[in-house]
Structure 1
Amino acid sequence: MKYMKKLITLFAALTLALAMAVPAFAASSTGTITIDNAVTGTTYKAYRIFDLESYDTDKNAYSYKLNTKWNDFSTYSTTIDSNTVSAADFFSVNSAGYIEWNDAKKDAGADFAKLAKAFAVEKNIACDKAETASSATVTFTDLTLGYYLVDTSLGSLCSLDTTTPSVTIKEKNSDTTIEKKIVITGNEKVDSNSAGIGDTVNFSITITVKDGAPKGYVLHDKLSGLTFNSDSLEVKVGPKTLTPNTDYTLETNPKDGDSFDVKFTDGKLKTNDVVVVTYSATVAADATIAGAGNTNKAKLAYSGKESTEEETTTYVWKLNVHKYALNSTNDEVALSGAKFVLYRMDSGVKKYAKLTNDKIDGWVTDKGDATTLETSGKGDILIEGLNEGIYYLEETEAPAGYNKLTEPIEVKITATTSVTSGSETVQYKNLSESSYTPATDATVKVLNKAGTQLPSTGGIGTTLFYVIGGGLMAVAAVLLVTKKRMNNK
């Protein structure tokens, strides 16, 4: 009996010892990876690089072997960020097939992840599992225990860890971004501006690449009211200017309705590249005047995805002139036939406006080449296609019976703009005056005064002429008679 009790006690102790010796993964033969802060619509992929042979979490001891799909990985090397990187820098495989990690590289997980990603892409390694995020959390379940690379369709690496048996990863991806701006004086970048027909507008588009393996990058740009100057396009990555038809191709008037597309050659862009595309466009004669302005849009297609549209707006302004006189009851009467030229100062030089169909068609230095603006039967002149700034209206001929203005009228156009709305303010004054008069509906009102009225025929002037004339004739007769008498003597 005593023997049996000792045997039972020994058996219980042995059972406990054996239970304690069971590897920690015996409780779970599969693992889970959870991704927090996932990007909705993004596809996450899990690649098992190493198979987990055994481990003891209490002792933090793990033994791995290469996944058969990754057998060639141990001898793999490639260029990453202009440096040659080899798998042998990080680990080796011993004679028994087990992975031996280089302790000097234990903190170089990010570099190892880039290398593993490059290998997977180059060798077309199939992922072990893929999940598309429908919310901020993505979970991979029933994963064979191992050492995993987790990648996303955004292209950057979010983590590299082992399922032991579960791991939670914080998504650190940021999407590739695009920003379009108008460049004005002093290289200031803005979302909206004012310009006149024929003026040049400069644009800058910045693309920040976040893909781990950038592919299929196409910049789409669509202009309205402006004409693209293809010779002005320049593409840079940092200080380096990219070569057209090698690093990218430019397609003007593509079938997709864009003004132009820039297609980047696969393999020419790298993760974290900052691409700056600059170009200019000329405000066209068919530009929208005032109102909603001329919107210009850009978007980026990349890695099977598409960015949201970036938008800028360029506004073009108008000026109305109304010529009138006051009648005897002080009522306004429209005057037709008044003639003007419009000019502006450009670095101290007068530039006169040429117009076609009431729209600006250029600026010339010779006044004789300027377009003569003549008031209509309603006394009006319309000028469209102006930038904000200061202009001068010079009357060259007044209507019959009226005095021509003695000095130009100075007109000041200022604008308030945003991407979604814009407005102009017009003020005017005689050149010699110090203060402006605000215009209503962008209309400059010009008063003409009639010329001085001289005395008419039959008036006092004529009567005086005859009276004086008669007196002179009488005096002449007296003198003539007197002279004859003296001669007779």
Structure 2
Amino acid sequence: MKKMRKIFAVLLTLAMVLGMSMTSFAADAKATITLTNFDKANKVEYMQIIQKDETKTSGWAFTNGAGACFTETFGLKDSDDAQQQVIWGLIKYNDNNVELPTGVTAETATAAKIDLALSKVAALTGFTASTDKTKIEVSAAGIYAIKAEETGFTYKTATAYVGFGKPYPALTNAEVTAKKSPTTVNKTVADDDHVVAIGDIVTYTIEAYVPFIDAANTENRTFTITDKITGADYYLEGKGAISTVEMEGQTDPVGTIEVNEDQTGFTINLNKLVADTSNLNAGKKITVTYTAKVKELNVENKAGSHAAGVEYGGNNVSVKLFTGEITLVKFGNGIETNVLANAEFEVYKSGENTPLKFKQQENGNYRYAPDAEDATTTVITNKDGKVIVEGLNVGTYHFKETKAPKGYSINTDGKDITLTQTGVATATVKADGKLNDTKLHALPSTGGIGTTIFTIAGCLIMIAAAGLFFASRKKTNK
């Protein structure tokens, strides 16, 4: 009997040790929430919003003040019973095959309602910063809210379900992928070297992304794309014009370009893309393509966007375009310092037979003016022997002399000058060249003095011959 008591005592001791070991093991058990696409965030924070509670009908209870956020979103007066109805709805949302106990009411949960509730939860205190942006380790089953911040992005508050959904939960690992939208607005132009000519039609592209707007924000759900331009006019209609606003995944246009009254900018209203608090379009790329016509020597413009009252792209670097400028110096008799004024030229672009048209500016330069009715094809050197033509694209230009300065002959060869640009231009592209004229020398009058003598002699001979002729006839008549 004593032996049996000893064996029983040993077994009881082992059971107690095993029980303590299991309790210790359970206390040390952890689950891992794997974070995907959060690695570049400036900050990642998490907070448990539903925890295990076996005293509740669902086996779960809200924590950290999250219950009121959900009941308000679901249109319920906050109470313990209302919170249980929401939790049962979340259980069904997570696993629609779960059978509800008799007498239990479950509020229908939707993605839009959950997102709205989470946006309210994100404003609560009690979040813990994660030291690891690739994973979070937790020791209790339930639902966790995860929010992040990153410069240049808006994030949607995410949830991780750790063993949630059964009355008697167990720790299970979970994975959460960040849903974020860039706030950047990128502007490009379809001209590799950024050198253009006045009158050119250039194509611009703006890329932006539909932002995540806090689902709790129901009063200021706005999203616009804006553009400002100088040195060019928007060219949205006519031959070769482009004006499109597209969103990835949709074939129909999602907006129209509305040019401001002062013609210096435009606004695209995209409010309808963010009107739904579920943020169904968040993160989708918007592509705006349009054309503009160059009218000045330099063109500069910048795109931006506004979302829910916040301006994005304000620090963007402007896209700049530049024109080319050529200076031709006219000199005489092989002496480069002997500059010649009033030499007249026509300017042709290589491969073209029609001279370019220019308008003279107040500074004396000739600006390319292909569309101006009062433009001229003649450019004239100034007192310094220079003629400066501006507003040109890269390429080779031929200067054909049409009138030489007084005392000089026309140089029939003319002059070819080439504007070149390697890489992206950051300033006006310039080129220059020189052209020599030969001085005219004094020449004798046509025929010279010798010709005059012969002419007089010839006339005398003819007079004498005529006299002899008439004298002979008179004698014969007698």
Please classify the TM superposition score into its range, dividing by the shorter chain length: 0.5 to 0.7
| AA matched with 1:147 | I
Distance in 1 between the 2:311 and 2:26 partners? 40
Q: Which residue of 2 aligns with 1:448?
A: 437
- Give the counterpart of 2:331 among 312, 324, 337: 324
Distance in 2 between the 1:262 and 1:228 partners? 14
Shift of 1:281: 2.4
Shift of 1:397: 2.5
Structure 1 pair 271/227, CA: closer, same or farther in 2 (3 Å)? Answer: same
Q: Secondary structure at the match of 2:319?
A: strand
Structure 1 pair 22/354, CA: closer, same or farther in 2 (3 Å)? Answer: same
Structure 1 pair 131/196, CA: closer, same or farther in 2 (3 Å)? Answer: farther
Shift of 1:94: 2.4
Distance in 2 between the 1:393 and 1:64 partners? 90
Shift of 1:202: 1.0
Structure 1 pair 337/126, CA: closer, same or farther in 2 (3 Å)? Answer: closer
Contact 1:226 1:283 in 2 (8 A): yes
Shift of 1:318: 0.6
Structure 1 pair 236/401, CA: closer, same or farther in 2 (3 Å)? Answer: same
Shift of 1:353: 1.0
Q: Which residue of 1 aligns with 2:253?
A: 241
- Give the counterpart of 2:339 among 334, 337, 343: 334
| AA matched with 2:324 | W
CA root-mean-square deviation? 5.0
| AA matched with 2:146 | V
- Give the counterpart of 2:389 among 383, 390, 403: 383
Structure 1 pair 253/474, CA: closer, same or farther in 2 (3 Å)? Answer: closer
Q: Which residue of 2 aligns with 1:162?
A: 162
Instruction: Give TM-score scaled by structure 1 length.
Output: 0.65
Q: Which residue of 1 aligns with 2:117?
A: 120
Contact 1:217 1:263 in 2 (8 A): yes
Shift of 1:211: 4.0
Distance in 2 between the 1:349 and 1:171 partners? 63
Q: Secondary structure at the match of 1:415?
A: coil
1:473 equivalent to 2:473? Answer: no
Contact 1:222 1:259 in 2 (8 A): yes
Distance in 1 between the 2:410 and 2:469 partners? 56
Q: Which residue of 2 aligns with 1:373?
A: 379
Contact 2:246 2:255 in 1 (8 A): no
1:148 equivalent to 2:144? Answer: yes
Contact 1:415 1:423 in 2 (8 A): no
1:393 equivalent to 2:382? Answer: no
1:273 equivalent to 2:281? Answer: no
Shift of 1:342: 2.8
| AA matched with 1:461 | G
Give the paired residue count.
418
Q: Which residue of 1 aligns with 2:316?
A: 309
- Give the counterpart of 1:352 among 356, 361, 377: 356
Distance in 1 between the 2:246 and 2:350 partners? 36
Shift of 1:140: 7.5
Distance in 2 between the 1:486 and 1:174 partners? 125
Distance in 1 between the 2:443 and 2:455 partners? 20
Distance in 2 between the 1:173 and 1:354 partners? 55
Structure 1 pair 126/406, CA: closer, same or farther in 2 (3 Å)? Answer: closer
Contact 2:181 2:282 in 1 (8 A): no
Q: For structure 2, which runs of at least 5 residues remain unmatched after alignment?
A: 71-82, 164-169, 216-220
Distance in 2 between the 1:45 and 1:264 partners? 32
Of the structure 1 ranges 448-457 and 193-202, higher mean CA displacement relative to structure 2 is found in 448-457
Q: Secondary structure at the match of 1:12?
A: helix
Structure 1 pair 422/90, CA: closer, same or farther in 2 (3 Å)? Answer: farther
Q: Which residue of 2 aligns with 1:427?
A: none
Q: Secondary structure at the match of 2:370?
A: strand
Q: Secondary structure at the match of 1:223?
A: strand
Distance in 2 between the 1:344 and 1:98 partners? 85
Instruction: Give TM-score scaled by structure 2 length.
Output: 0.66
Contact 1:116 1:149 in 2 (8 A): no
Contact 1:206 1:275 in 2 (8 A): yes
